[in-house]
Structures are given as C-alpha cells and as structure tokens.
Amino acid sequence: MNEPWIQVKDLTVRYGSKVALERVTLDVMQGEMVSIVGPNGGGKTTLLKVILGMKAFNEGTVRVLDGKPGHVAPGEVGYLPQINEHLRDFPIHSLDVVLMGRSPRLGLLKRSGPKDRELAAACLEIVGMSDFAEHPVQTLSGGQLQRVFIARALAMEPKVLILDEPSTGLDAVSQEDFYVTLRRLRDQQGISILMVSHDIGVVSNYVDKIACLNRRIHYHGSPGDEIPEHVIQEVFGRNIQILVHNKNCVTCKEGHSHE
C-alpha cells in the first residue's frame, strides 16, 4: 500500500509565453480517489494530459506507476476523456465498446476471443449495465453511456483510472450513482482514481482528497475540511456562487439544502 502511483512534482507547463501550470505538486496514492477542481482554463485537462503522456512539459518531474508518463505498460492507465456527444452517432453496441478496452492488452493484430468477451461482460456488470450489452450506444442516456465508457476503461484491467469531467451532462441522481460506482471500484479493485471537475459540490462527498487548481495548486484537502473562502475566491474568482458540500454538514443530513 501507501506508495504514490501518480507523483507530480514542481510541474510547469507553458503554451508559448502563457503559463498553463506552475510548480504543481500532487500525489495520488495506491487505492486513493482524488479530485482536482478549478475553473475552466485553469489547467485541469493539461495536467491530465501530462500524466497520460499526451502533452510534453517544461519543468518538474512526473512519475506514473514508477515510470515516465506515456511509457507505462499498455492498459495500466485507463482514461475517460470529456464526454463527446459525437460518439453517440457511431453504430456500435455497448459490449463492443467495452471490448475495445481489451486492445492494449491484446496488442496489434490479435483479435479478441471468448475470454475477452467474458471479461467485457463482467465489466458491464460492475457498472450495472449488463442489461444493455446488446443495445446500440445511440439509445443510451448520458449516464448510461458514461458507465459503458468506465467499463471500457476497466476492461483494460488498469491500475490507475483518469477521468476528465466525468459528471458533465449527468443529472444530480446520475452523478451520485456514478460516484458511488467509482468508489466501489476503488474499494473492490484497489485502483487509484484521479479526476477533474469544475464543480466542487457533489464530488467532495466521495473522494479522499481534493486539490484546487487554477494554474497553481491552491489547496490540498480532505472531504470534511472546509475549503477556505479565500481559496475558493482565488481559484474561481469573486463572482462565482459555489455550493461547498461538507460531509460533516448536519443540516444536510436533516434534508436541508445549502442555498
């Protein structure tokens, strides 16, 4: 246990003269679920792309599963990009989407076999989508599609799961469902989960650690710690209205909402 599976130290990324990330430091331990929150344009996706090895960086060190980003063994890092509604037009059934996740483990030129189909079906089961295996993705709701994509990432048998704005387009109930599924995965399979989100509402109830990112990391905290007001203003700006959800909030348990 307790070794960082993602280790980011003093990371700086520039696009020309514009600094996208500045001296960012972040650890995600084995079996930890971490969320990065921050405004759009704050460098969240850039950070994920660096960790995935899809973007070069200028300074600092980044280690993923004890290797350079992008050079980990195939399938060890599962990635879920921001949902792309475009994908819905593709003629494909849920189970075939999940089977695509077997690609890195199979390697080039090899076809998936019955064992891969079994594993893909088991992944759909984990995310509660078994009944939809033969459904075309066109017929799925946003939340269902997102679960199928999680199942695809799981079919890689990853150690680390990276999610970019996974709750976009989901209603409140689906969001809660989705985070519960992620937590169960973390608990049952011991995988590390790193996700970014522009909302700090619901997500803070489900993760082990939160980092606020707006070019720099402004705050590391655990759920239950209240994010200081000045940090929120520094990260999101003054005019933003945010619902900070605190798991120790008593009124909430009594059915009272934060307004």
Partner 1 sequence: MSEMLSFSFIQHALIGGFVISVVFGFVSFFIVEQRLSFLTVGVAHAAFGGVALGILLGLSPYLTTVVFCLAVALLILKQVRENRADYDMVTGIFFAATMALGIIFLSISKNYTFDIVGYLFGSILGIGGQDLLIICVTAPLIALFFFLFFKELVAMTFDREVAISAGIPVKGLEMWMIGAIALLIVISIKIIGIILVTAFLVLPASFALKYCRSYRSVIGVGILFSLVIFLSGFFLAYRFDLPAGATIVTLGTAIYLLPFRRKFN
Q: Decide if 163 contacts 203 (C-beta within 8 A).
A: no
97 interacts with partner 1 by CB under 8 A: yes
CB-CB neighbours of 12 under 10 Å: 16
Residue 46 or 112 with smaller CB distance to partner 1? 112
Distances (CA, A) of 65 to 2, 51, 151, 159: 12, 11, 21, 8
Find the shortest distance in angstroms from Cβ 17 to partner 1. 19
Contact pick of 14, 41, 54, 58 for partner 1 (by CB under 8 A): 54
Q: What type of residue is 184? A: R
Q: Does 45 bind partner 1 (CB under 8 A)?
A: no
Number of Cβ within 10 Å of residue 258's Cβ equals 12
Helix (H, G, I), strand (E, B) or coil at 239: coil
Q: Which CB, 121 or 231, lies closer to partner 1?
A: 121
Q: Compute the least distance from the CB of residue 242 to partner 1, in Å.
A: 29
Between residues 97 and 120, which has the closer beta carbon with respect to partner 1?
A: 97
Give the binding range for partner 1 (CB under 8 A) out of 5-13, 90-98, 179-187, 208-216: 90-98
Beta bridge partners, 225, equal 223
Residues in contact with partner 1, total (CB under 8 A)?
A: 31
Give φ, ψ of 10 to 5 degrees.
50, 45
Selected from 44, 152, 186, 209, the binder of partner 1 by CB under 8 A is: 152
Q: How far is the CB of 165 from partner 1 (least distance, A)?
A: 13
Per-residue binding letters, 100-129, with partner 1 (x by CB under 8 A) = xx-xx-x-xxxxx-----------------
Check: CB of residue 161 under 8 Å from CB of residue 194: yes
Cβ proximity to partner 1: between 42 and 101 the closer is: 101
C-beta of 136: minimal distance to partner 1 in Å?
4
Name the one range near partner 1 by CB under 8 A: 24-32, 85-93, 176-184, 210-218. Answer: 85-93
Rounded Cα gap, residues 247 and 225, in angstroms: 9
Q: Is 80 in the site for partner 1 (CB under 8 A)?
A: yes
Q: State the DSSP string of 153-170.
A: HHHT--SEEEEESTTTT-
For residues 127 and 33, what is the distance between their CA atoms, to the nearest angstrom? 17
End-to-end CA distance of the chain: 40
- DSSP-based three-state secondary structure for 30: coil
Q: Can residue 52 be called a binding residue for partner 1 (CB under 8 A)?
A: yes
73 in Cβ contact with 142 (< 8 Å): no
The nearer residue to partner 1, 144 or 204, going by C-beta atoms, is: 144
| 35 lines the binding site for partner 1 (CB under 8 A) | no
Residues lying near partner 1 in the complex (CB under 8 A): 52, 54, 74-75, 77, 79-81, 84, 87, 90-93, 96-97, 100-101, 103-104, 106, 108-112, 134, 136, 138, 152, 156
